[in-house]
Chain A
Amino acid sequence: MSLLTAEITGCIGQALAPVRFQVNRQDIRKYAVATGQRQARFLAGDEAPLMFLFSVLMPVLPLDHLREDGHCPDSPLLPELPLKRILAGGSRYEVHRRIYPGDVLVCHQTLVDIHEKQGAEGPLIFLVFENRFENEAGEPLVTEYLTRIAR
């Protein structure tokens, strides 16, 4: 019997309000140093490495909104599931163009798929979130498909 109720699968297609932000040279430089980057264009902040985009979606919340473990509350797109342990399952990126300081990005976050698989130790629920980064004209820059796994 499937763990996925109609209420859970009905969450597919839900989206958050778009997040708009401007890419900052100093943020790129800090990120590049922290990751041990060797390429001069990233260290100078002339271009953002792809994975820099991971940082821009981290919410900036008041201290008393953080959980005991220091983590921020989970995405409002995550439905109530019968499996409670949520793990990172990886990311897939489609790159349409490079990201530069001064770029204004608009990110659209949507829950695009929920499916179930049988793992070696029991059922697993896979949730796929699309993070579509566009410029202000609506042109695609990078599209990320982020998978999270409930077990």
Chain B
Amino acid sequence: MIMPTLDIGQALPSRQYTPGTVQLFLYNAAIWNAHRIHYDLLYAQHQEGHPALLVDGPLQGDWLTQLLYDWMEDSDELLAFEYSNRRAAYVGDVLTAHGEIQAVEGERITLALQIVNQQGQATTVGRATLRRP
């Protein structure tokens, strides 16, 4: 079997997300979160001053893990993952998850991850380490 090469800077396949109100409703129901900024537009705009409904920060963290899961091979193991939200993301935004190989040390692969909005601004950044036997 020919093992694919792993090059520093090699990009993972990116994925675009355009979250809408139905997805935010289902996500917040699934995590049992009733914070109104995610489903009550009038509240989000008039009480908290947001232009639109907010996309949950942990949902964007999940999207970064999806980038990994879609790229990982069956025998890979996720060892570590971290993310932080840097700027608000809203319903109507076009959010694209990107990742690239940052380091390869033996079986360990470190990846840099981020989600950018349609203006090219990072809304969430992250990092992960996998083991590829």
Name A residues whose Cβ lies closer than 8 Å to a Cβ of B: 27, 30-31, 33-39, 42, 49-51, 54-55, 58, 60, 66, 69-72, 88-95, 147
Contact = CB atoms under 8 A, between A and B. Distances in A.
Contacts of B58: 51, 54, 91
Given A30-B26, A60-B32, A69-B37, A91 B82 contact: yes
B21 interface: no
A91 B35 contact: no
B82 A71 contact: no
B82 A27 contact: no
With a 10 A CB-CB cut-off, give which of A36, A55, A147 has the most chain B CB atoms. Answer: A36
Residues of A contacting B: mostly: mixed
Contacts of A72: 34
Nearest to A29: B30
B63 A36 contact: yes
Given A31-B31, A58-B31, A90 B83 contact: yes
B70 A34 contact: no
Contacts of A55: 30-32
Interface of B: 17, 23, 26-27, 29-37, 40, 43, 47-48, 57-59, 61-63, 65-66, 69-70, 77-85
Given A33-B26, A93-B82, A51 B61 contact: yes
A144 to B, nearest CB: 10
B65 A94 contact: no
B65 A69 contact: no
B65 A50 contact: yes
Given A54-B58, A91-B61, A31 B30 contact: yes
A89 B84 contact: yes
B30 A27 contact: yes
Given A34-B27, A35-B59, A88-B85, A58 B33 contact: yes
With a 10 A CB-CB cut-off, give which of B32, B63, B85 has the most chain A CB atoms. Answer: B32
Contacts of B70: 38-39
A70 B54 CA distance: 14
A82 B27 CA distance: 33
Contacts of A38: 66, 69-70
Contact of B47 (A42, A49, A69, A88): A69
A76 B111 CA distance: 35
Given A30-B29, A35-B59, A69-B37, 12 more contacts: A34-B29, A36-B66, A37-B69, A38-B66, A38-B69, A49-B62, A54-B31, A89-B84, A90-B84, A91-B58, A92-B80, A93-B81
